[in-house]
Amino acid sequence: MRPTLIRNFHRSAVRMAAHADHSNAPGGRWLFTAGGVALLLAGGAVVVAQRNNEQNSHIRNIFKNERGTGARHL
């Protein structure tokens, strides 16, 4: 990673830590937000995996039929 990118990450982490120290927000709120983001990403991954499996099963059937008939694919 580039040093400027690392510096930006560090600055934003320090800024967020300072804000968390001065705010009265409980840590549970942060965990709730992180859990929501994790569920959203996991749900998206499941949808992509299912769609990919449907497309791949169609392709597998094409090759299975070609093997059964002895035909060659182009």
- Its sign, for the CA torsion 30, 32, 38, 41, is negative
How far, in Å, are 8, 12, 29, 47, 50 from residue 54 at the CA level? 41, 42, 38, 11, 6
* pLDDT at residue 16, rounded to an integer: 81
Cα–Cα distance measured from residue 70 to residue 55, given in angstroms and rounded to the nearest whole number: 23
* pLDDT at residue 47, rounded to an integer: 92
- Encoding tokens for residue 29? 């709120």
Residue 38 · residue 28 · CB < 8 Å: no
Q: What is the pTM of this model?
A: 0.45
* pLDDT at residue 1, rounded to an integer: 55
Quick: pLDDT tens for 6-63.
888 888 888 887 776 666 666 677 788 889 999 999 999 999 988 888 778 888 888 8
Q: Where are the domains of the chain?
A: 3-69
